[in-house]
Amino acid sequence: MTENTQIATLAGGCFWCTEAVFRRLRGVISAMPGYTGGTVANPTYMQVASRTTGHAEAVQVEFDPSVIAFEKLLEVFWAVHDPTTLNRQGADVGPEYRSAIFYHNEEQKKTAEQSMKELAASGKYKDPIVTELAPFNKFYPAEAEHRDFYEKNRSSGYCRFVIDPKVQKLYKDFKGDLKEET
């Protein structure tokens, strides 16, 4: 991280999905999948999947706030997952798939609280928002095979049926916020 960048840590279900989405946004320097919110140091994917660590699959986003605001990251976050399902995103079930915002400072906390309040009042969802809002503690990057998963495995069923629709939604609803394709 440089002095001109900030970090956001967001859990919106499977980190393969959230990484694929956030890395496409203009102003995002990096999107690293990993684990946060639990009690076990240096957890493995299998440990997190065993539901004994307390960690959520998350993505840590380094971004340039002069290009993309934290508010915009939250807007995308809300759009690409269901913040009303407790410990679940689609067929992915368990506390490791919970919806959570791990704020890094009081400004992020206030912004997230306001964003959640506006989303709840919008009427977009009939069920209440269950997204956890918690202070950031420690982030553990996922193993190498989980990084850039979507880019490396586009033809897999999970990518085609779960991640592709999220990326397509991003292209449709946030086209003005995307990096230029090379």
CB of 133 within 8 A of CB of 101? yes
What gap in Å lies between CA 59 and CA 75, rounded to an integer? 15
Q: Which amino acid is at 121?
A: A
Marked catalytic residue, from 7, 8, 10, 14? 14
Q: In sequence order, what are the residues at sequence separation of 6 or more whose Cβ sits closer than 8 angstroms to the Cβ of residue 158?
A: 16
Judge whether 99 and 93 are in contact, CB under 8 Å: no
Find all residues with CB under 8 Å of 107, minimum gap 6, and list them.
70
Residue 163 identity (one-letter amino acid): I
Q: CA-CA distances (angstroms) from residue 87 to 13, 45, 91, 137?
A: 8, 17, 11, 20
- Report the alpha-carbon distance of residue 141 to residue 59 in Å, rounded: 9
In the residue annotation, 17 being an active-site residue is answered as no
Residues carrying an active site annotation: 14
